[in-house]
Amino acid sequence: MPKPTCPTNVIVFFTDQQRHDSLGLHGNPLDLTPNLDRLATEGTHLFNTFTNQPVCGPARACLQTGLYATANGAYRNGVLPDPSHKMLAHYFKEAGYQTGYIGKWHLADRGDGVGYVHPDQRGGYDYWLASNVLEFTSDAYRTDVFDNDGNRVRLPGYRVDAITDAAIRYIDRQQSNPFFLFVSLIEPHFQNHRDDYPAPDVYRERYQGRWTPPDLQALGGTSARDLGGYWGMCRRLDEAFGRLCESVKSLDLWDNTAILFTSDHACHFKTRNGEYKRSCHENSIRIPGALVGGPFQNGGRLPQLTSLIDFPPTLLDAAGIPIPSTMQGRSLLPLVQRHDNNWPDDVFVQISESQVGRAIRTSRWKYGVTAPDKNGWKDMNSTHYVEEYLYDLYADPYELTNLVGYESHRQLSGILRKRLIARMIAAGEPEPTIVAAPPIKSFQRRVEDDELRK
């Protein structure tokens, strides 16, 4: 007699400010992520994964709603999604799932504004053990979160372990129920009040001075000071992810549990602007991506360009829940099953706070624009932009040579300009004008027609 089909449980393991090249699968030589490297190889490795908004709150809003930041309303930190938009937990709950949220939220202004979140702003999650801005209510060895009743709870252990242990306890209690659990960690984000990366004891010393990625070798920033702690935090995250996956396996839930590992944005260590993200550069927007367990086992490495807004429809699809037509991303499940041969060759990025910026990233090119007369904290979008960046990621993967304005690349810029405008309109933004950068006659290099089409 065939075994009854069980509903697919869904878990999101969400880190904060993690570079894609922290993974061994992306060339990091320090063996920081042996668990994730193995699990992604056995499951589905999303080789080219990007945030749609390189700052905490808006990135989370994209992932919770499946909408771009300007479409859901949370275009910068401190501005919340329009409450008329459903979040992931609403869809799972309507399908009969238990829903739980543990860790950092960053999408509320009711409560105390920092830690406690009013029930009306918890995104529909039933079980709650979280802090609105976890970096303000915790430190490396002091993890204070708030429960369903608003009580402050101190979890034992290093912060990564404290949050992960709470997640494992939740999974253990839900063995007989289909569940959707979102685990949101703060690491490897810096500790705000001292601008430091507090790794577990002895981990900073283990990695300090051992390897610096090429972009940081060239540009420096704060990397010499911070990389040891940052890499140590990434190592502990991998150990925690391994423990969580082992717990799922030990409860015989692996075959019917889909697990997503990703991050909200990356970290350029103050090399591109005055802080760690909020730019269109690779190490602000490129993030780890892996889907493991359940329907994602043996999916292989997917080279297609994917982004945060593709994950909500993917998770719903994995659970057999209809995907709302309002979501702006696409399910990855057909890609995993090799049923989708028409995946777009670009991702769209909106940038706030540091600027009102927009960018498109193709398999080869990065093209970015900025609105010179707008304020990134006050203005959601603009109808007037100017070209700011153009990078050839084949020849210049670390984005050290900005080609914008060069006459050799003006035809290419025109093509990318049209693609970016089309992306902005599709996201629900007003149609803009984009002014070409002033021409530069030096550094001539012919771009072949077949290159322009990529």
Mean pLDDT in residue range 56-73: 97
User: Of the candidates 205, 226, 234, 188, which has an alpha carbon nearest to the alpha carbon of residue 33?
Assistant: 234
8 A C-beta contact, residue 53 and residue 67: no
Residues in the chain: 454
Q: Please determine, for residue 209, whether its predicted confidence score (pLDDT) is greater than 60.
A: yes
Q: Please determine, for residue 250, whether its predicted confidence score (pLDDT) is greater than 70.
A: yes
**Rg, the chain, Cα only:** 21
Tell me the pLDDT band of 446, cut-offs 50, 70 and 90.
Answer: very low
Q: What is the pLDDT of residue 452?
A: 46
- Crossing angle for the helix pair 56-65 and 311-318, nearest 10 degrees? 40
Q: Which residues pair with 138 in a beta bridge?
A: 143
**Model-level pTM greater than 0.85?**
yes
d(CA 9, CA 321): 12
Mean pLDDT in residue range 435-454: 63
User: What is the share, in percent, of the chain residues with pLDDT greater than 70?
Assistant: 96
Residues 6+ apart with CB under 8 A from 17: 188, 189, 190, 263, 264, 265, 266, 267, 276, 277
Q: Please determine, for residue 222, whether its predicted confidence score (pLDDT) is greater than 90.
A: yes
- Collapsing DSSP to helix, strand or coil, 262 comes out as strand
Task: Name the E strands within 107-256.
Answer: 127-131, 138-139, 142-146, 152-155, 179-184
Q: Please determine, for residue 181, whether its predicted confidence score (pLDDT) is greater than 70.
A: yes
Chain segment 348-389, per-residue pLDDT in tens: 999 999 999 999 999 999 999 999 999 999 999 999 999 999
Chain segment 87-101, per-residue pLDDT in tens: 999 999 999 999 999
8 A C-beta contact, residue 99 and residue 89: yes
The domain defined by 355-452 carries CATH number 3.30.1120.10? yes
Q: What is the pLDDT of residue 121?
A: 95
Residues 6+ apart with CB under 8 A from 23: 32, 33, 36, 37, 40, 288
User: Of the candidates 418, 398, 410, 397, which has an alpha carbon nearest to the alpha carbon of residue 440?
Assistant: 410
Tell me the pLDDT band of 112, cut-offs 50, 70 and 90.
Answer: confident
Residues 6+ apart with CB under 8 A from 401: 391, 392
Q: Where are the domains of the chain?
A: 9-336, 355-452
Residues 6+ apart with CB under 8 A from 3: none
Q: Please determine, for residue 450, whether its predicted confidence score (pLDDT) is greater than 50.
A: no
Q: What is the pLDDT of residue 3?
A: 38
User: Of the candidates 393, 292, 238, 301, which has an alpha carbon nearest to the alpha carbon of residue 47?
Assistant: 301
Give me the sign of the Cα torsion angle 109, 113, 118, 121.
positive
d(CA 182, CA 262): 12
User: Of the candidates 105, 49, 17, which has an alpha carbon nearest to the alpha carbon of residue 260?
Assistant: 49
Mean pLDDT in residue range 22-45: 98
Mean pLDDT in residue range 119-139: 95
Tell me the pLDDT band of 113, cut-offs 50, 70 and 90.
Answer: confident
Chain segment 305-339, per-residue pLDDT in tens: 999 999 999 999 999 999 999 999 999 999 999 88
Q: Please determine, for residue 58, whether its predicted confidence score (pLDDT) is greater than 80.
A: yes
User: Of the candidates 190, 289, 185, which has an alpha carbon nearest to the alpha carbon of residue 230?
Assistant: 190
Q: What is the pLDDT of residue 339?
A: 84
User: Of the candidates 362, 368, 377, 328, which has an alpha carbon nearest to the alpha carbon of residue 350?
Assistant: 368
8 A C-beta contact, residue 273 and residue 55: no
Q: Please determine, for residue 442, whether its predicted confidence score (pLDDT) is greater than 70.
A: no
d(CA 271, CA 397): 15
Chain segment 210-221, per-residue pLDDT in tens: 999 999 999 999
**Exposed e or buried b per residue across 30-50, where buried means at least 16 C-beta atoms within 10 angstroms of its C-beta:** bebbebbbebbebbbbbbbbb
Q: What is the pLDDT of residue 5?
A: 60
Tell me the fold of 9-336: Alkaline Phosphatase, subunit A (3.40.720)
- Collapsing DSSP to helix, strand or coil, 52 comes out as coil
